[in-house]
Amino acid sequence: MKIDWVRKLTSRKWWLSVAAFVLLMYNALGGSAEGAEQIASIIMAGAAVVGYTLAEGLADSHHAEDE
C-alpha cells in the first residue's frame, strides 16, 4: 500500500488537524492565547506554501510530459 504524500500534504483537512493538535498541546502546556494565534498563523501559512509549491510542481511535470 503506497501513501500518496502529495495528496496528504495538499489536504486542508490534514493541515487543520496538525494545527489543532499543536494548538491543543500548546494550551495544555500553559501557552497564551496570543501565542496560539501566532502558531496557527505560521502553520496555515506554511500549509499554503507547501500546497502551492506541490501543485505547481505537479502542473509543471504534466506540461513537460505533454511536450
pLDDT of residue 38: 92
Is residue 67 over pLDDT 70?
Answer: no
Its pTM stands at 0.62
Is residue 18 over pLDDT 80?
Answer: yes
pLDDT of residue 64: 64
Could you read off the pLDDT of 21-41 as tens digits, one per residue? 998 898 889 999 889 889 989
Confidence of residue 63 (pLDDT cuts 50, 70, 90): low
User: SS3 sequence, 6-51?
Assistant: HHHHCCHHHHHHHHHHHHHHHHHCCCCHHHHHHHHHHHHHHHHHHH
Could you tell me which residues come within 8 angstroms of residue 18 by beta carbon, excluding any fewer than 6 positions away?
43, 47
